[in-house]
Amino acid sequence: MQIALVGIGKIALDQHVPAITDSPDWELAATVSRQGSVGGVPAFTDFDRMLAERPDIRVVSLCLPPVPRFDYAARAIRAGRHVMLEKPPGATLSECHALADMARAQRVSLYATWHSRQADKVPGAKAWLKDKNLRRVTITWKEDVRQWHPGQDWVFEAGGLGVFDPGINALSILTEILPDPIHLCAAELHFPENRETPIAANCRFYHPQGAEVTLDLDWLEPGSPTWSIEVVAEEGHMLMENGGGKLTIDGAPDKCVPGLSGEYPRLYSQMADLVKTGTVDIDLAPMRHVADAFTLGKRVTVAPFEW
């Protein structure tokens, strides 16, 4: 199937382009970007022009920041195209619900992707947790924004999510592996005095078994990042590290090898299946927790942030 990639930045070049190129399901038929391009692929700078001139391209993958994503997705759906959304799927929950309604009305597929759910050890963690009595769940997601988003001011602008941009990856894994639903009950968000989104956050969640569930986010972590989920249960101990790339159960490493290698190859394989069946897949659980944090969280002003 032919696909157009919209927004040719670092994530598109590092992850999306290789996944599409190596996939037996896809052909990268066009790109849309004001600046970036992919060698040998027809490049457009105007999205509407691409839609008009390439009716043969039935699928669009959007790698734009959250705020402009709704407008592009809505135009693609109205043009009868299937749409794949980078995380988070929109700037607000309302936008995402609206896109899902549009897609169903137009009978096209819509896929809200959560790439961290496709990490190698997520299935193993989910399988182990399904019948456990939980006592404590500790999520620690710390990294250096200067390394992962160098000079990208949009992450600190309204709608950019701030530290919840990586934090939503942790929440996407958490909502996939926990057998019981949770909801946020308290949060503290640290906003640099010169920025519109938080640079650190601490969150606490209600768990139906009474387990202590906490999330610690920091975007000023020096050195190597920490992306871990630790679970203490009556039956044992689980530690997931490297954003889902490493899993140990009671100190023993999980040795299961997934059938398809890589988060983004798995996403594009799933998108191919959705297009073939005309299915809408838009799970908003990770984004709901972020929205709750912004609604309920105590705002604390901290030192200004400069690149």
**Active-site residue, from 10, 87, 130, 132:** 87
C-alpha 88/C-alpha 92 separation (Å) is: 9
User: Is 130 a residue of the active site?
Assistant: no
* Closest-CA residue to 211 (of 185, 245, 246): 185
Asked whether 143 and 219 are in contact (CB, 8 A), the reply is yes
118: which 2 tokens? 């496709």
β-bridge partners, 82: 59
Amino acid identity, position 86: E
* 8 Å CB contact between 81 and 60: yes
Read off φ and ψ for residue 19, nearest 5 degrees. -65, -40
Burial of 299 (0-12, 13-18, 19+ CB in 10 A): exposed
Q: Coil, helix or strand for 78?
A: helix
Whether the Cβ atoms of residue 268 and residue 22 lie closer than 8 Å to each other: no
- Euclidean distance between CA atoms 3 and 141, whole angstroms: 33
Q: How far apart are CA 125 and CA 132, in angstroms?
A: 11
Q: To which residue do tokens 């799927």 refer?
A: 89
Place of tokens 């009556």: 234
Diameter of the chain by CA atoms? 60
* Residues catalogued as catalytic: 87
